Amino acid sequence: MSFLFNDFSSWKKYCEEKQLNLHEVVLEYEVKQKGKSPQEIWDGLAAAYQVMKEAIHTGLNDDMTSRSGMVNNGAKKVYQNKLTVLSPEFQQLIARALAAKEVNSCMGRIVAAPTAGASGILPGTLYTLQEIHQLDDKKISEGLLVGAGIALVIEEKASLAGAVGGCQAETGSAAAMASGAIVYCLGGNVDQVFNAVAITIQCMLGLVCDPVAGLVEVPCIVRNASAAAIANSSAQIALSNVSAVIPVDECVEAMGEIGQSMEDKYKETALGGLATTATGQQIAKKVLIQDIEILPDQPDESS
Amino acid sequence: MVTKSSVFEMIGPVMIGPSSSHTAGVVRIARAAIRVLGKKPEKAVITFYNSFARTYEGHGSDKAVIGGLLDFKTDDNRIKNSFEHAKKEKLKYAFKSVGNASTLHPNTLKINLTAGKDKVEILGESLGGGIVNIAEINGFTANFSVSLHTLIITADDVRGSIAFIANVLAQDDCNIATMSVSRKGRNDLACQVIEMDSGLKPLTLKYLESLKWVDEIIYIPDIDL
Ligand code: SF4
């Protein structure tokens, strides 16, 4: 049994019983479970958010090319494009999510949230949210706590690792965290926050992990942008009280079930999907080291 | 019992990309290696095995391992340019790739370090999420995680030595979390690796070092490698 809450309904129940906000329960969890002081936790969250903002800045300003050549300053191109598809805000959201993730691919400093492969989603969504709605940093830190609580539940009931649950577990979970945090920061109630999580999971279910050449670049980077967009569409839906119909805990269960029955070739092994397309294989051949000393298959004790 | 995750494993860790097993984990193994050597390495030969053998370059694990050997932390921006820093620090290095080492973990690397006459060989496994296991030191089974205070004792395989050392640590109020003993042959040198919840007093270390049958003591305090 988990501590304080182990699923969304017990988290809600604990909030009601103790008259606490969603984020306060997560704070209490960390204080009691990890023996940290609230101040340490707030400082840690502020520091993490600072790194997220720096990653966006780096991705939009420095040269972002990866050794494989698959990353080539994509975020900057989106940011500077004069042709705006939807709105300048949407364009910035996408550029920022790409930027932070490109920094990750190019060996820069990022916050794994919840994993390194999904490290562009919370920076892109929260920074854009803060700017549009003029939120203070404390509010964003609260949103991060809510996001962490969402991830804690998903980790317990499904998985956060691409190698275990496919990409739905990585970018899907990050989108769910972001969506819940957005709704929370805009004053949504507990049901609305959890509904946003449910809707987001429904949108991300089944996504496989099929990185080209095994590198965290293609399709990971563009998926950070799409996940950031889905986090926002779900938040908009949830804040308008449109129900996900399937309750959030059941959505997480579905995610776990899908992850379990997903074939291994779609779990970070680069043995399926985009990784094994003709072009994917060509790139792998070029990028991966071919000059390898191969040991005999079954080394026996005497050798 | 499964330990519950921290908020800062959900929002964190802060690290250098692209992946916790290919960068953060590799940095930590390298930082453990220089502590086992006990001084600045002059030469390093790094062998990447199995899955690492093909992917280490694409994932930047080569830069990560050199960064770690220069004692850069897992979130240090200099890792990206660690090769240039290595040149300045006069650290020579070479990489090798070996596939199909079926007895080894998929993400394994071996680090051979030399400084003057001193040499060490470390076999490390990157288990994901930045968590590592140092599987071997100089051919001895080790199996420690560099997340606790670690004591590595190489000593003659004398009777009662394990009980004796456990006793000394107990006198220093030290709770032993894990302990492994491995030896190369009967009455040969044995290596004890002890992970402890709290740190040791310098005096305790001095005392252990002074024992006739003790060959070498390496102490790695919990410094958040
Ligand atoms: S495709 Fe795989 S490696 Fe890439 S972000 Fe998704 S889970 Fe991570």
Each residue's pLDDT tens digit, A80-101? 999 999 999 999 999 999 999 9
Q: Which residues, 6 or more positions from B157, have their beta carbon under 8 angstroms from its beta carbon?
A: B183, B186, B187, B188, B189, B190
Give the distance from residue A134's alpha carbon to the nearest chain B alpha carbon, in angstroms: 22
Q: Among B7, B79, B98, whose Cβ lies nearest the Cβ of A295? A: B98
The number of folded domains in chain B is 2
On whether both B114 and B174 belong to a single domain, the answer is no
Question: What is the token pair recorded at A94?
Answer: 């996408």
Is pLDDT of A173 > 90?
yes
On average, the pLDDT of chain A sits at 94
CA angle B184, B187, B190 (to 5 degrees): 45
Identify the pLDDT of residue A300.
52
A262 C-alpha to center of ligand 1: Å?
14
Testing ligand 1's pocket by substitution, the residue of A171, A205, A230, A277 carrying the most ligand atoms inside 8 A of its CB is A171
Q: Give the pocket of ligand 1 (CB within 6 Å).
A: A 117-118, 162, 167, 170-171, 209, 211, 216, 219-220, 223, 268
3-state secondary structure of B222: coil
Is pLDDT of A303 > 50?
no
Identify the pLDDT of residue B128.
81
- Considering chain A, what percentage of its residues have pLDDT values greater than 90? 88
- Place B2 in a pLDDT band, splitting at 50, 70 and 90: low
On whether both B61 and B170 belong to a single domain, the answer is no
On whether both B190 and B209 belong to a single domain, the answer is yes
- Place A1 in a pLDDT band, splitting at 50, 70 and 90: very low
User: Cα A213 vs. chain centroid, distance in angstroms?
Assistant: 21
Q: Which residues of A touch B13 (CB under 8 A)?
A: 111-112
User: How large is the average pLDDT for residues A270-293?
Assistant: 92
On whether both B25 and B94 belong to a single domain, the answer is yes
On whether both B126 and B165 belong to a single domain, the answer is no
Does residue B209 fall inside a structural domain?
Answer: yes
Identify the pLDDT of residue A299.
53
Does residue B127 fall inside a structural domain?
Answer: yes
Q: Which residues of A56-82 are buried (b: 16+ CB within 10 A; e: fewer)?
A: bebbbeeebebbbebbebbbbebbeee
Is pLDDT of A301 > 90?
no
Is pLDDT of A151 > 70?
yes
On whether both B190 and B88 belong to a single domain, the answer is no
Which residue carries 């596939």 as its tokens? B99
- Residue ranges per domain, chain A? 8-287
Cα separation, A241 vs A195, whole angstroms:
8
Q: Among B16, B98, B99, whose Cβ lies nearest the Cβ of A107? A: B16
Write the ipTM.
Answer: 0.94
On whether both B51 and B97 belong to a single domain, the answer is yes
On whether both B24 and B102 belong to a single domain, the answer is yes
Pairing between strand B108-115 and B214-220? unpaired
Identify the pLDDT of residue B184.
79
Testing ligand 1's pocket by substitution, the residue of A217, A218, A268 carrying the most ligand atoms inside 8 A of its CB is A268
Closest chain A CA to residue B55: A288
CATH number of the domain encompassing residue B30: 3.30.1330.90
B224 against B208, higher pLDDT: B208
Identify the pLDDT of residue B159.
87
CATH number of the domain encompassing residue B190: 3.30.70.260
CATH architecture of A8-287: Orthogonal Bundle (1.10)
Final residue belonging to a domain, choices B107, B138, B169: B138
Identify the pLDDT of residue B62.
96
Identify the pLDDT of residue A20.
96
Is pLDDT of B18 > 50?
yes
Cα separation, A202 vs A215, whole angstroms:
27
Is pLDDT of A9 > 70?
yes
Cβ proximity of A17 and A203 under 8 Å: no
Each residue's pLDDT tens digit, B136-193? 999 999 999 888 899 999 999 888 888 999 999 999 999 899 999 998 777 788 999 9
On whether both B104 and B185 belong to a single domain, the answer is no
B positions 23-42 inside 8 Å of A (CB) = 23
On whether both B178 and B133 belong to a single domain, the answer is no
Identify the pLDDT of residue A297.
66
- Place B3 in a pLDDT band, splitting at 50, 70 and 90: low
Final residue belonging to a domain, choices B78, B103, B138: B138
- Place B21 in a pLDDT band, splitting at 50, 70 and 90: confident
* Secondary structure (H, E, C), A271-299: CCHHHHCHHHHHHHHHHCCCCCEECCCCC
Identify the pLDDT of residue B187.
75
Which residue carries 């449109």 as its tokens? A242
Identify the pLDDT of residue B147.
86
Please compute Rg for chain B using Cα positions: 18
Does residue B173 fall inside a structural domain?
Answer: yes
Residues of the domain holding B153: 149-220
Question: Which residue CA neighbors atom 8 of ligand 1 most closely?
Answer: A117
User: How large is the average pLDDT for residues B73-91?
Assistant: 97
On whether both B108 and B21 belong to a single domain, the answer is yes
On whether both B28 and B111 belong to a single domain, the answer is yes
3-state secondary structure of B145: coil
Final residue belonging to a domain, choices B138, B164, B180: B138
Does residue B143 fall inside a structural domain?
Answer: no
- Give the single-character DSSP code of A170: I
**E-strand spans in A40-173?**
109-111
Pairing between strand B176-183 and B149-156? unpaired
- Place B106 in a pLDDT band, splitting at 50, 70 and 90: confident
Give the distance from residue B109's alpha carbon to the nearest chain A alpha carbon, in angstroms: 14
Is pLDDT of A128 > 70?
yes
Each residue's pLDDT tens digit, A217-241? 999 999 999 999 999 999 999 999 9
Is pLDDT of B77 > 60?
yes
Does residue B12 fall inside a structural domain?
Answer: no
- Place A249 in a pLDDT band, splitting at 50, 70 and 90: very high
B1 against B180, higher pLDDT: B180
CA angle A195, A197, A198 (to 5 degrees): 65
Q: Is the dihedral of CA B16, B21, B22, B27 positive or negative?
A: positive
The helix, strand and coil proportions of chain A, stated in percent and rounded to the nearest 5, come to 65, 5, 30
Does residue B47 fall inside a structural domain?
Answer: yes
Query: What DSSP assignment string belongs to B105-135?
Result: -SSEEEEEEEETTEEEEEEEEEEETTEEEEE
A202 against B161, higher pLDDT: A202
Q: Which residues, 6 or more positions from B63, have their beta carbon under 8 angstroms from its beta carbon?
A: A107, B79, B80, B81, B82, B83
- Place B1 in a pLDDT band, splitting at 50, 70 and 90: very low
B positions 68-87 inside 8 Å of A (CB) = 75, 77, 79-80
Does residue B3 fall inside a structural domain?
Answer: no
Pairing between strand B149-156 and B131-137? unpaired
Q: Which residues, 6 or more positions from A180, have their beta carbon under 8 angstroms from its beta carbon?
A: A146, A147, A150, A193, A194, A196, A197, A200
User: Cα B46 vs. chain centroid, distance in angstroms?
Assistant: 14
Identify the pLDDT of residue A295.
82
Cα separation, A127 vs A214, whole angstroms:
29
